Structure formats: C-alpha cells, structure tokens
Structure 1
Amino acid sequence: MALKLVMAMFSLLMFLSLTSLTSGRRELLADGGDFDVTNAKYGAKPDSDITEALANAWKDACASTSASKVIVPKGTFKVKEASFKGPCKAPIELQVQGTLQAPEDSSQLSKQDTWIEFLYLNDFTLSGGGTFDGQGQKTWKAIDPKNAKAGTINIRFHAVKKSLVKDITSLNSKNFHINVISCEQLTFDHVTVTAPGDSPNTDGIHIARSTGVNVTDTNIGTGDDCISIGDGTKQLTITKVTCGPGHGISVGSLGRYDKEDPVEGINVKNCTLTKTTNGVRIKTWAKNPQASTCSEIHFEDIIMNDVQNPIVVDQEYCPWNQCDKQASSKIKISDVSFKNIRGTTSTPLGVKIVCAKGLPCEKVEMTGIDLKFTGTGALTSQCTNVKPTIANVAQPLACATDAPVQAGPAEKSND
C-alpha cells in the first residue's frame, strides 16, 4: 500500500510539473519576448536555408498578445522566400543583424516578382543593421534593357501602417530594391540601398498608392531611380537622402496605365545627388489612357554634384519609342516649386520644363537656382507650355523662352 501511495503521489507530482511547464510555455508565448531563429526550437544555422525556421518564429511572435521580436543574429543565412503576414496581435519587430541571401535564380521562388514581403501589418518595425542580399548579378546579365521587369523585388511592403524600417541594407536586388504599395504612415530611416550604376530597373525605393510615407537619412546608390514615386502617392516626405549612382529622384513615370490615381503632396528637401543621370524630375507618358493630376510637388535645398539633367519636367516621356510622341499628355501638373537648388551640371541643359500640349503646367515656381556647367559652352534652359514664376535665378536658367536649345544626354529610359 505504501509503495502504491508513493507511486501515486509521484505520478501526481509529474503531472502537475508537466502541466506547469506547458502553461509556462503558453504564458511565455502570450507574454511576447524574443524569438531567435537559431534557438533549439527553430534550429536555424548559418550558411543554410532558414526559410522554415523564419516562418515558424514569425508565426509564434505574431500570435503573442504583447510586444515581440523575431531575431536573425549575425551570420549569413539563405532564405528561399519569406512572407511576414499580419495582422499580428501586438506590436512586432523583425531584427535582422546578419545577412539574408536570396537564391541566384528567381525561378526557385513561388512568387516570381517578390523575394521578401511584409503584408497587412500595424505597429511593425524592421531593424537590426543587417543586409538583404538579392544576388542579382546573374539576373541583370540576362535582362533585355527594353523589358527590364524580369527578376524579383528584394523587399515589398503592402498595406503596412504606422510602422518603421530602420538601419537595414538592400544589396544587389534583381529588380526594385524596396516596393511600397498601399501603405500609411510608414517611415524609412537610415536605410542603405546598394547596386552598381548599370544594374537595370533596380529602383531604390518605389512608392505608389500610399499616404504619409517618410524617407529620411537614407543613402541610395543603384542603377535606376533612387526614389521613384508612382500614382496614388500622397503626403510623401523625403529628407536628407543621398543619391548616386542612379537616375535621381523621380515623380513618375505617370499616365502609362488605366485607372491611375492622382499624385499630390510630395516634399523633397535637403537631399544631395552625385553623378546621377537626372536630378529631380517629374515625368509623364506622352499618351495616356485617361486624365489625372499631379500637384503640390516641392523640391527644396537640393545639392547637385556633376548631375547630367538637374531639373526636369518631361510630359513627352516615351522610352524606347513605346508610344506616340505626337500625342499630348492628359496629366495636369500644377503647384510645383524648385527652390534653392545649387551645384554643378555635367550637361549644358540645366533646366528642362516641357509640359503637355494644350494642357500647360500651372503655378510653377523657380527660386534660388544656382547651377554651374562643368563642361565647355553656355549653360541653357528650356521651357515649353509653361510660364514659371522666377526669382533669384541666373539668366541662362531663367527658362524664359520656348526656343529649341542644345540638349544634354537623353534621360534614362527605364521606367
């Protein structure tokens, strides 16, 4: 009897102990905390594929009812593809300290257009000082420059709100580095984008159909637009961005597709562009399927260092002769300012503002433009279908005539 009683008591103690441990694990999950992909539960190891480990850690963290953090420590980790999807139950952070490495071949991905994506998230933070390496070199060599949409986007944000991306690097993306669609109040702070100047269609940050996005203290050197701004973008602020190599900071191109939404409230300030093929520009396709508007666009305190086309408004944009240049753009541009733009241009055409036939640009202001041509010959400007308000602008840049002028190298054609 005594032995049976002892055994019964031991069994009861073991049951209570296991129940307590299970409850503790559930409580830990509910309480949030750190979810390191290299711990025993997830089993991620450097120089191996951690796709499954990353997905499992995210699933647990996203289910937590208090703030949680998924951690990828220092080291190089291979990721086939990853989808970080919400909504999550509490604020969540992905802290990438090491390097995540994409497959060299996009055909290995189930989604041919995206490698890493963040979807339907609120109060999310991406941080850690780590690198998203798209390994795009092989893809670039195979791309036809007239159809440079091949290859995957490194990082996509879709329907992400009230969130922060800071201290991360996007390296050698096969396509756009960072794509922002349908987001609200999303901030990029101290982000680095790096790819060779001849890498096709590798826009640094592309933003469309989003409201209240901020890009600040960011360094972008790539093969296409450092920042490109698509339709439906509203209340975008870009400050203290360095750009080069690249094609500059561009609103557009706009008007290529049907049902494009208006662009309004774009503020670009305190930025520096170095040896880029364009500076700050607005571009709309020469022929559009429907009318739209582009308004409240302001460029201020911009430094140009040996930039080819410093100030551009081009409503006859038609890369690779894909449209009818004789057609007139239906995108109405208004309330645009270029203030305190100074530095050097490597081509004689310092200012080019070519607006749509029959739809002149309105309320265009140029103030404090001071550009020096580094080559031989005279500095010039061109204005067509626009009568800008001008103050403190040197005569060669005063844009007072529609007469043809000597043009610099053509703007880069990639969309």
Structure 2
Amino acid sequence: MASTVLIFSASLIALFLFSLTGVNANAGSNVFSMQSYGARGDGLHDDTKALRDAWAAACSSAKPAVLLIPKGKKYLNRHTILSGPCKSNIVLMSNLMASPKRSDWSKETIRHWILISGVTSLTITGGGTIDGNGKIWWQNSCKTNSNLPCTEAPMALTLHACKNLKVEDLKVVNSQQIQISVEDCTDVKMSPVSITAPETSPNTDDIHITRSRDVQVMDCTIKTGDDCMSIQDRTENLHVNNMVCGPRHGISIGSLGDHNSEAHVSNVTVDNGRLYGTTNGARIKTWQGGKGSAKNIVFQNMKSAVEVSDVLFKNIRGTSASEEAIMLHCSSSVPCHGITLEYVKLTVKGGSNDVRSTCQNAEWKKSGSVSPQPCSFKN
C-alpha cells in the first residue's frame, strides 16, 4: 500500500515546426532537410525513412548540423530511433505526427515513438509541434474502459543518455502516453515547452525525469490528464521554475520504493509554480517496504486558488445590511470568469439608494438591469 507525504496541496483551480529563423545555423553549419530525403509532409504518407536518413546524414557531419523538417507540413512517422554518438553538434527542427494506427507498433517498439539516444550537444528547437495522435490509444486503455486489457502505449519523445541537451520552444500535443521522458541524461535545459492533451487522457504524464542530473525546466505550460511532472529514482540537481500546471495531478516525486525497491532523489527545487485544478498539487509518493531517500527537496512560491466560473445570479431583489451590497472579489492568480448578473436590484436597509459595490479580478456580464454595478462589464 502506498504511503504519501503531502508537501503542498493545491486547491482545485484556480518537434517542432521549424524554419531557420532565429536558429543558430550559421554559414558554417550543414543543413539536412527531410524533404531532400524523400519526405512528403502530407500527413498521409509514411516519412519515417526520410527522418532516419536525414538524421544519419546530420549525425555523420563533421560540421555543426541542422536537421530541418520544413515549416507548414505534417510528417507522419512510426517508431523511430535517432542515435549517437554524432561527429558534431546537431540542431533538430521538425513538425512530426505519429501514425494513427496502433498496428504500426510491435511488441518490441510499443514503448517509444521518437527515441533519441546517446547524443551530446543536441538542441531541439524551432517552434513546432510533436503530435502523438493519442486518441486511438486512450480509447483502448483499461483506464478508459475497464473491460479492456491493460497494455502499454508509446511515449511521444524519449531523451536517453544525452549530454548537454537543450529543448527550446517546443510543443507536444496528444501523446499516446508519457509526453517527454528524460532518462539517464546529464546537463539538460528545457525552456519554454508547452504540453497539452485532454484532461481525460489516461497516463499522459508530461515531463518524466529519471536517472538524470543537472536538469533545468523553466517557463513550461502543461495541461494534460496526469502528472505535470513525474520525478523518479536517481534524479539529482533538478530545478523547476515558473511552471503553469493543471488540471489533474500536479507535480509528483515518486512513486518511490515500489516492489520493495531502493530509490534516491535529491536536490530538487520547484519554484514559482502556478497550479490550476490539480487534485494533489505538489507531493512526494512513497511505498511501504521500499528503501532509499528523498532529501533536499524544496517546493516554494507556489500559488493556487479555488477557480470560480460560470455562475448566474438571477432575479435578486432586496436590501443590504451594509452600503456595500455586491462584492465580487477573486484571486489575482486565478480570476473569476463567466459570472452573470441578471435582473439584480439591491438597496440599503431603510430604502436608501446610496449603495456601493466592489469588484476585484472578476470578469462578469449583465442581462437586464443590474444595480449597483460592481465594475466594468461585458455585454
């Protein structure tokens, strides 16, 4: 049975699309475009071989290389391994979409969609999207339908045994399962990264970190169906700053020590987090019977509030005991929205019309007459 140490409980609230613009690809860099290797980019034909061939050419380049997946197209890919070591630094730029067919994954490849392994000095950048096309996997999950058998599903992007790794200006959407997994890596910087999937999508953990050290995750926005971050065994020197997280499960260390195992996590700082609609907030999860340690952990400057939305006040008449008859006061971090006042008339006790109201961090609209009006409104 799992035992949980709750560090901070948030209340319920409140790769790659690329051009060369802004990328460090100077005249000394070799550019390898997927289209030069036969990619169609129509979202229908399989471009897996083109990606692998372009990677092989970039990885063997003696000069710094750019693997370019041109802007404005969708490159359909099945399971792909992009491995090193490479002869020089690589900048990877792409807009990739997973095959929608579960049959394109075998028992041997089912855990990974894009796996990048053993590369030093890799930058993933460019402002584009990795689309996991996860709907078919979610529909066949035992967590969606308890009558179905529980099976594994691919992780969208796995970064394995990489050093001096940068992930910048990347969007990941609708992963089949885990969105980004960082495994056995050193010196990793991720900023900014946007990850989205439906709240109901099962097991779509966002940033999963294990057996890695010296990792920085900054300015990331995460909205999916599971943990915003999953921090696992042998994570050391992790700094997370300015993360927007929610809904679902929040930021988790663990589970640690399952199946009587030994696990160690140390020197983790989560700073300036904003949590929306998370069921647990920030937490450390451990298992009875396990051993090891979770030490030097800091959760600080984290904000949460109860989100108030879609509220109707209708046909309200009466007198107020104080001159301040209406107060719409909401959190500055999570403002109220969708508030409607419909036919409201309030006066001060004794019949005086000298009635006041105040409004803070609230977006509202009126239907019919409203008096007093708490602040500027939207029709």
Same fold? TM cut 0.5: yes
- Aligned partners of 1:33, 1:140: CA distance in 2, in Å? 40
Letter in 1 for 2:300: E
1:153 is aligned to 2:155:
yes
C-alpha deviations, 1:4-62, integer Å up to 9, x for none?
Answer: xxxxxxxxxxxxxxxxxxxxxxxxxxx751001112xx121121221111111111110
Q: Which amino acid aligns with 1:120?
A: G
Deviation at 1:198, TM superposition (A): 1.2
Equivalent residue for 2:97?
101
Q: 1:213-262 deviations in whole A, cap 9, x for unaligned?
A: 11101110010000010011100010011011221001111111455331
Q: Which runs of 5+ in 2 are unaligned?
A: 1-27, 308-331, 335-379
d(CA) in 1 for partners of 2:259, 2:113:
25
Residues 1:67 and 2:69 aligned together: no
Identify the residue that residue 399 of structure 1 maps to in structure 2: none
Say what the alpha-carbon RMSD is for the aligned residues. Answer: 1.9
What is the DSSP-based 3-state SS (H/G/I as helix, E as strand, rest coil) of the residue aligned with 1:304? coil
Question: Which of 130, 138, 142 pairs up with 2:136?
Answer: 138
- For residues 114-171 of structure 1, the C-alpha deviation after alignment (integer angstroms, 9 at most, x for no partner) is 0001100110011111111111111112111288662110000110111101111111
Q: Distance in 1 between matches of 2:142 and 2:64?
A: 46
Q: In structure 2, what is the Cα distance between the partners aligned to 1:125 and 1:236?
A: 19
CA contact (8 A) 1:226 1:243 kept: yes
**1:95 Cα deviation after fit:** 0.8
Displacement of 1:66 in angstroms is: 1.5
Please report how far the alpha carbon of residue 306 of structure 1 lies from its aligned counterpart in structure 2 after TM superposition.
2.7
What residue in structure 1 maps to residue 327 of structure 2? none
Equivalent positions of 1:261-340 (< 5 A) are 261-288=263-290, 291-306=291-306
TM-score normalised by the chain length of structure 1: 0.63
Q: What amino acid maps onto 1:59 in structure 2?
A: A
Preserved contact between residue 105 and residue 139 of structure 1 (Cα < 8 Å)? no
Greater helix fraction, Structure 1 or Structure 2: 1
Aligned residues: 274
Matches within 5 A, 1:160-199: 160-199=162-201
Alignment correspondent of 1:38: 35
1:221, 1:245 within 8 Å by CA — same for their partners in 2?
yes
Distance in 1, Cα, partners of 2:245 & 2:212? 22
Q: 1:149 to 1:275 in 2, by over 3 A?
A: farther
Per the TM alignment, residue 304 of structure 1 is displaced from its structure 2 partner at its CA by 1.0
Which residue of structure 2 aligns with residue 58 of structure 1? 55
Is the contact made by 1:106 and 1:152 (CA closer than 8 Å) also made in structure 2?
no
3-state DSSP of counterpart to 1:262: strand
The one-character-per-residue Cα deviations of 1:328-368 (angstroms, maximum 9, x if unpaired) are xxxxxxxxxxxxxx979xxxxxxxxxxxxxxxxxxxxxxxx
Does the 8 Å CA contact 1:35/1:70 hold for their aligned counterparts? yes
Residue from 70, 74, 95 that aligns with 1:76: 74
Letter in 1 for 2:52: A
- Structure 1: distance between partners of 2:169 and 2:333: 29
**CA–CA distance in 2 between the matches of 1:260 and 1:208?**
14
Q: For the Cα contact (< 8 Å) 2:102–2:136, is it kept in 1?
A: no
Aligned residue type for 1:295: K
Secondary structure of 2:214's partner?
coil
Indicate the residue corresponding to 1:218 in structure 2: 220
Q: Does the 8 Å contact 1:276/1:306 carry over to 2?
A: no
Q: 1:128 aligns with which of 126, 129, 151?
A: 126
Q: Following TM superposition, by how much is the alpha carbon of 1:105 offset from its aligned partner in structure 2, in angstroms? A: 3.0
Q: Is the 8 A contact 1:148 1:201 kept in 2?
A: no
Instruction: Answer yes or no: is the 8 Å Cα contact 2:195–2:222 preserved in 1.
Output: yes
Q: TM-score, normalised by structure 2?
A: 0.69
2:247 matched to which residue of 1? 245
| Counterpart secondary structure, 2:187 | strand
The whole-number CA distance in structure 1 between the counterparts of 2:206 and 2:241 is: 15
| Compared CA separation, residues 257 and 234, structure 1 to 2 (3 A) | farther
Give SS of 1:303's match.
Answer: coil
The equivalences for 1:305-384 within 5 A come to: 305-306=305-306
Report if the CA contact (8 A) 1:32-1:65 is conserved: no
| Distance (whole Å) between structure 1 residues aligned to residue 119 and residue 262 of structure 2 | 25
Unaligned runs of 5+ in 1: 1-30, 308-341, 345-415
SS in 2 for 1:306: coil
Residue 258 of structure 2: aligned partner: 256
Shift of 1:81: 2.1
Runs ≥4 residues deviating over 6 A: none
**One-letter amino acid of the counterpart of residue 153, structure 2:** G
Show CA shifts across 1:292-313 (max 9, x none): 1110000111111338xxxxxx
SS in 1 for 2:273: strand
Alpha-carbon distance change, 148 to 185 in structure 1, aligned in 2, over 3 angstroms: farther
